[in-house]
Structure 1
Amino acid sequence: MTETTVEDVLAELAALEDPRVRAVNERHGDDHGVNLTKLRAVAKRLKTQQDLAHQLWETGDTAARLLALLICRPKAFERHELDAMVREARTPKVHDWFVNYVVKKSPHAEDLRREWFTDPDSVVASAGWALTTDRVAKKPEGLDIAGLLDVIEAQMKDAPDRLQWAMNSCLAQIGIEHAEHRARALEIGERLEVLKDYPTPPNCTSPFAPVWIAEMVRRRDAP
C-alpha cells in the first residue's frame, strides 16, 4: 500500500473545490470551497494519521487544516503545540473544529482553558471561553460561576465579535444549567442586549441569551 502524501491530499482537495461553496463560506469568514460532507468522507478514508495531519496543518490551507483536525490524534499534541495552533487558527471553522475536536479531548485542556481565558488576543480568549462554557455544562465543580457572570457583565457588551459570541454562549449555558444563577443571567442578557437582533432562521433558537435560556429550560422541563 503506497503512503498518502500531502501533495496527493492537496490535489484531491483542489479537485473538490466548489465556487458556490466558497461563496457561502466567505460570507461567514471562511476561505475554503470544499463541501464538509465530502471533506469528512476523505477523512474517513484516510483514517487517523498524525504525521500527515501535522503536514496538512503546516500548509496553512484552510481545507487542509480542517482535514488535519479530522485525522489527527488529539491526545498526541503537546501543550505548546496546541498553544501555537490556536494562534494560527484564525478562520472561524478551523478555530471551532480545533477547540471542539482536538483541545477538548486533550489532557492539556484545563491548563489551556485557564491560560487562554485571559489572553490579550481576543480570538485566543474566545477559545478559553468556549472551553469554560463546556465546563459550565459538564463539569462545573470548582468554577466561580458568579465570578464568570461578573466578567461577562463588565466586558461582553464591548468585546470583539468572536469573543463576544463565546462569552454570550457561556452566559446562556450558565442560565440553562444553573438555576441558582438563572435570574442574574437573564437580567444581564436583557440589559446588555447582545445579539438581541441577530437574524435567526425559522425553527431555530435565537442566540439572544434570555430567549436561548428560556427555550432550553422549557424544552428540558416539558412533560
Structure 2
Amino acid sequence: MAGTTLAEVMTELAGLEDPKARAVNERHGDDHGVNLGKLRALAKRLRTQQELARQLWATGDTAARLLALLVCRPKAFDRDELDAMLREARTPKVHDWLVNYAVKKNPHAEELRQAWFTDPDPVVASAGWALTTERVAKKPEGLDLPGLLDVVESEMKDAPDRLQWAMNHCLAQIGIEHPEHRARALEIGERLEVLKDYPTPPGCTSPFAPVWIDEMVRRRESV
C-alpha cells in the first residue's frame, strides 16, 4: 500500500474505532479506541513508509502515532527529532512504543539515554531509565551499576509513577542479570516496598522487585 495518503489512513483508523477498546485503553491512560491487533494488521498492509509515519505523528492523534511507530524507519530519525517526539509522547503506550520500536533501534540511542536519564521531566527521565535497563541486560560494560542502585535507593520511593516504574524495572534487571549485585538489589526492594501490593493477575510475575528477581533467577536455574 505504498503511496497511501494520510487522509485515507486516518479514515481507515476512524473506522476501526471501538468504544469497548477505548474504555479499556483509557483505564491505562491511553486515549484511543483501536484494537492493537487490527492496528498491527493495518501496519502490515501499509509496510514501511517513513514520510507517512511523520505525517501520522504530526496529527497528534494517539492511534495515528502508534501506527506511525509501526510503519516508520527507526534509523531515519535524527537525534533532535526523536527528542522532540519523546517530549510530545504523553500517553503511556505511545511513550513505550516510541522508546522500544524507534529509539532503541536508532544510532542516537546511547546519546539520548544519557541526555534523558537526568532530565527534570520525570516522563522524559523514565525513557532514559528504560534505555539504561536495556543496557543493564544486554550491554552493561561501562555502566556504573552500584551508582544506579544508589540513585534507585535514594529516589525511587518518592518518584512519580512512570519514573518509579522505570527505576523499579532497572532495579529488578540489575538483580536478575548481575549476581554480584543481587543481594543489594533484593535488600533495596524489600526496604522500599515499591509495587509490593500491585495487583498481579494469576500466572503473571509480580513487578515487586524481590519477587520478580527471585522468580526470574529460579526459572533460569531450573532450565
TM-score, normalisation: structure 1: 0.99
Sequence identity (%): 82
Which residue is equivalent to 2:124? Answer: 124
- Number of residue-to-residue matches in the alignment: 223
> What amino acid maps onto 2:171 in structure 1?
L
Question: Which structure 2 residue ranges, 5 or more long, are not aligned?
Answer: none
Give deviations 1:112-135, integer Å, cap 9, x for gaps: 000000000000000000000000
Which residue is equivalent to 1:159? Answer: 159
Give deviations 1:89-117, integer Å, cap 9, x for gaps: 10000000000000000000000000000
Q: Residues 149 and 171 of structure 2 are in contact (CA less than 8 Å); yes or no, is this contact kept in structure 1?
A: yes
Which residue is equivalent to 2:69? Answer: 69
Q: Partners of 1:138 and 1:69 in 2: how far apart?
A: 23
Moved over 3 A (4+): none
Which residue is equivalent to 2:176? Answer: 176
Question: Where does 1:109-120 land on structure 2 (aligned, <5 Å)?
Answer: 109-120=109-120
Deviation at 1:31, TM superposition (A): 0.3
Give deviations 1:137-179, integer Å, cap 9, x for gaps: 0000000000000000000000000000000000000000000
Q: Partners of 2:3 and 2:118 in 1: how far apart?
A: 42
Give deviations 1:159-202, integer Å, cap 9, x for gaps: 00000000000000000000000000000000000000000000
Which residue is equivalent to 1:15? Answer: 15
Q: Partners of 1:195 and 1:2 in 2: how far apart?
A: 45
Which residue is equivalent to 2:220? Answer: 220
Which residue is equivalent to 1:107? Answer: 107
Q: Residues 156 and 168 of structure 2 are in contact (CA less than 8 Å); yes or no, is this contact kept in structure 1?
A: yes
> What amino acid maps onto 2:163 in structure 1?
L
Q: Residues 189 and 210 of structure 2 are in contact (CA less than 8 Å); yes or no, is this contact kept in structure 1?
A: yes
SS of corresponding position for 2:202:
coil
Q: Partners of 1:23 and 1:137 in 2: how far apart?
A: 35
Which residue is equivalent to 1:56? Answer: 56
Q: Partners of 2:83 and 2:159 in 1: how far apart?
A: 22
2:89 equivalent to 1:89 = yes
> What amino acid maps onto 1:39 in structure 2?
L
RMSD, aligned α-carbons = 0.9
Deviation at 1:2, TM superposition (A): 7.8
Deviation at 1:3, TM superposition (A): 2.4
Question: Where does 1:35-46 land on structure 2 (aligned, <5 Å)?
Answer: 35-46=35-46
Q: Residues 2 and 47 of structure 2 are in contact (CA less than 8 Å); yes or no, is this contact kept in structure 1?
A: no
Question: Which structure 1 residue ranges, 5 or more long, are not aligned?
Answer: none
> What amino acid maps onto 1:102 in structure 2?
A
Q: Partners of 1:2 and 1:71 in 2: how far apart?
A: 11
Change (3 A) 1:159 1:2: closer
